[in-house]
Amino acid sequence: MSVLDAGPSTVELDRRAYRRSRARRSTLGALASTLVFALVAYLTITNAPGWPRVRTTFFDLDIARQSLRPVLAGLWVNLQVLVIGAVLVAVLGLGIALLRTLRGPIFAPLRIVATIYVDIFRGIPLIVVLYLVGFGVPALRLEGVPTSGFVLGTAAVVLTYSAYVAEVFRAGIESVHPSQVAAARSLGLSHRQTTRLVVLPQAVRTVTPPLLNDFVALQKDVGLISVLTVTDAVRASQIIVGQTFNFTPYVLAGLLFVLLAVPSARLADHLTVRALRRQQGGGR
């Protein structure tokens, strides 16, 4: 039958053996250098003159155990802000992106407003937005406007992140080839139908990995609402730090945020790889 039935030739077997030995050698090299680096870092830190002090103030297991419950309760608040915020950011970000992609002179005012919004909220530090919204809005003493730090903190986070996410969506929308729009319009689909049924589904696929990246960033930035005295994980830690003069609760909170971020980060990586494979002509 075919040459393949006989199995690989001796030449091919030799090539494979050579590649394997090369791969083994580079793996070992990488492993060794990593171990050496870790060892040096460990020895440098633990032999530093201030290390005993640092260990007791930042890595006290007893205090970590005692503060676990309040910090976890705070993290639950962060999670709520995260989920509500993420949904609102997705909606608002997409809306702003759509406004920015509108063509024609009649939409110029909307386009300009959306552009100014993005410029402002991408430029201004989140912490400043938090102060402005969290303390400025209640100071207006307007009837019916919420004054809770939870609501205003979420609003501030949404305002800032929507600007970033709008730009991601816009990039995705603009990455859809004009020929797709031409095909849709040639079938008689209106501008709106074309956007909804042809452009957006393709754009969202393209931008899912970068969006997840922004989601990971949002996961940690929700910790900043603690400046509005919302008892989230960071604020809960701060309270214990104030009582014990020990910073271990901050480290604990940081660790918990990392644990929260890891699954999303891995999911983002996975989707990026898949999107790349699809783009390079692989299967769906």
Partner 1 sequence: MSAPGPAVLRCENVVKIYSDLAVLRGVDLSVREHEVVALIGASGSGKSTLLRCVGLLETVDDGQVWLDDQDITDPRVDADLVRRRFGVVFQAYNLFPHMSVVDNITLAPRVVHGVDPSVARDEAMALLDRIGLVDKADSYPDKLSGGQQQRAAIARAIAVRPRVLLLDEVTSALDPELVGEVLSLVRELAGQGLTILMATHEMGFAKQVADTVCFLDQGVVLESGPPSQVLGAPVHARTQQFLARIVDAGRL
- Tokens 């993420």 locate to 86
38 is a site residue for partner 1 (CB under 8 A): no
Among 101, 147, 202, 231, binds partner 1 (CB under 8 A): 202
Taking the complex as a whole, how short is the minimal distance between the CB of residue 164 and partner 1, in angstroms? 25
Among 39, 197, 259, 276, binds partner 1 (CB under 8 A): 197
Which CB, 2 or 179, lies closer to partner 1? 179
182 is a site residue for partner 1 (CB under 8 A): yes
Between CA 272 and CA 209 the distance in angstroms is 5
Which CB, 137 or 204, lies closer to partner 1? 204
Contact criterion met (CB below 8 Å) for 157 and 225: yes
Among 143, 188, 242, 245, binds partner 1 (CB under 8 A): 188
284 is a site residue for partner 1 (CB under 8 A): yes
CB burial class (10 A; 0-12, 13-18, 19+) of residue 268?
Answer: buried
Taking the complex as a whole, how short is the minimal distance between the CB of residue 201 and partner 1, in angstroms? 5
Amino acid identity, position 270 = H
- Residue 127: CB atoms within 10 A of its CB come to 13
Q: Interaction with partner 1 in 71-110: which residues (CB under 8 A)?
A: none
Contact criterion met (CB below 8 Å) for 160 and 127: no
Q: What are phi and psi of 79, to 5 degrees?
A: -60, -40
Between CA 166 and CA 203 the distance in angstroms is 12
Which CB, 69 or 277, lies closer to partner 1? 277
Q: Write out the residues near partner 1 by the rule CB under 8 A.
A: 179-180, 182-190, 193, 197-198, 201-202, 205, 281, 283-284
